């Protein structure tokens, strides 16, 4: 039976990527060695790292614009700390749209004052706050583009007088926009780019070196840029599979092409949620994520039946996060439209047989 993987992360990846990556475990680049055992200082892996850093900038349209790409460890959670370590001199402005931005705020408070410009916590993060002003006396503005747990997504970003930092962990490479609006972007790989174990950071070099505190080497973006992501042993396999995924994305036509496919998938599922009387969406309609659709049953007595039908259809990973309950269908880049069609068919069948 074909499994339809709606897991929020680690996420679905393209089958072509799995095939090439699995071959590399046995014999990488005809070297007779596994990608898991080659030296990270070898020519083979240095070439992988260089290409991964280069193609990430190319996909975002940021090459030759003063940006550097680095692959780090510790997930986005480490970036909550590193952003503040490197950028927060006195005060940071944060938009609070969910669990991850709340955690970022907590870490930033260790380094200076935090101004939460607006929050959607009053309605359990079911919408994106609007109509806020970013103060001019802050060092930077931080936001989270997509909220995996609650299923909200920022559709517009403010014109900020200060550098803009964005956590794009769960929607990077999924939609086209002017990425030069951002001064620093970070994303854990395991949501939409690769396996768990590495984090992509895109940073404008002119942003760095302005805080007066001493920064430990492992926490210093400048050190990692200078060492070309090789300051310490990098997560070789995670970087390699992320490279394969980015090459796959480029072969699909890049971000613009994948955005069209993502929009079709999201439109199909949200249409069913809206017309099917057994279901209701969790988030505000205008803030719905194209990556993570959150929804609930109107009648919880149908849960056992719906869960059983999903299992029979090979649908995996749609249980909602404990913070929200209900269901969450994550529709990352590699998820085929066919999988969404199967889920919609099951939802329709439930209505007919309820």
**Would you please indicate which residues are annotated as catalytic (active-site) residues?**
100, 167, 191
Nearest to 49 by CA among 237, 196, 209: 237
Q: Is the peptide bond before 10 cis (omega within 30 degrees of 0)?
A: yes
Q: Alpha-carbon distance 161 to 171, whole Å?
A: 24
DSSP-derived letter for residue 317 is S
Q: Which residue has the tokens 């069209």?
A: 260
Q: Alpha-carbon distance 156 to 302, whole Å?
A: 37
3-state secondary structure of 85: helix
Q: What is the dihedral of CA 15, 17, 23, 25, to 10 degrees?
A: -120
C-alpha 305: how far from chain center: 32
Q: Find the length of the chain.
A: 354
Nearest to 287 by CA among 133, 43, 123, 80: 123
| Strand bridging mode 141-144 / 91-96 | parallel
3-state secondary structure of 184: strand
Nearest to 143 by CA among 151, 131, 156, 284: 156
CA distance to 98, 194, 292, per residue, from 262 (Å): 22, 17, 11
Q: Alpha-carbon distance 109 to 105, whole Å?
A: 6
């Amino acid at each position: 039976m074909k499994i339809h993987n709606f897991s929020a992360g680690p996420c679905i990846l393209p089958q072509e990527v799995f095939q090439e990556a699995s071959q590399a475990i046995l014999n990488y680049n005809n070297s007779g060695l596994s990608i898991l055992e080659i030296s990270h200082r070898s020519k083979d892996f240095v070439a992988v790292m260089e290409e991964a850093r280069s193609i990430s900038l190319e996909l975002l349209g940021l090459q030759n614009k003063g940006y550097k790409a680095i692959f780090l460890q510790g997930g986005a959670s480490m970036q909550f700390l590193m952003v503040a370590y490197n950028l927060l001199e006195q005060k940071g402005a944060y938009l609070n749209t969910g669990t991850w931005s709340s955690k970022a705020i907590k870490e930033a408070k260790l380094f200076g004052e935090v101004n939460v410009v607006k929050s959607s916590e009053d309605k359990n993060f079911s919408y994106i706050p609007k109509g806020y002003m970013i103060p001019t006396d802050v060092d930077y503005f931080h936001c989270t583009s997509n909220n995996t747990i609650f299923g909200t997504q920022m559709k517009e970003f403010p014109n900020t007088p200060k550098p803009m930092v964005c956590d794009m962990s769960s929607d990077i490479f999924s939609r086209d926009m002017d990425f030069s609006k951002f001064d620093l972007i970070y994303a854990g790989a395991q949501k939409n780019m690769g396996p768990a174990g590495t984090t992509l950071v895109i940073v404008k070099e002119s942003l760095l070196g302005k805080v007066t505190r001493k920064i430990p080497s492992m926490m210093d973006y400048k050190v990692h840029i200078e060492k070309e992501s090789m300051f310490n042993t990098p997560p070789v396999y995670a970087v390699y599979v992320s490279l394969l995924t980015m090459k796959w994305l480029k072969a699909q036509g890049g971000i613009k092409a994948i955005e069209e496919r993502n929009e079709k998938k999201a439109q199909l599922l949200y249409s069913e949620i809206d017309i099917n009387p057994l279901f209701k969406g969790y988030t505000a309609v205008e803030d719905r994520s194209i990556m993570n659709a959150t929804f609930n049953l109107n009648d919880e007595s149908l849960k056992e039946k719906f869960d059983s039908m999903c299992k029979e259809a090979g649908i995996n990973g749609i249980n909602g996060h404990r913070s929200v309950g209900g269901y969450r269908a994550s529709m990352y880049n590699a998820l085929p439209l066919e999988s969404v069609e199967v889920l919609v068919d099951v939802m329709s069948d439930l209505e007919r047989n309820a």
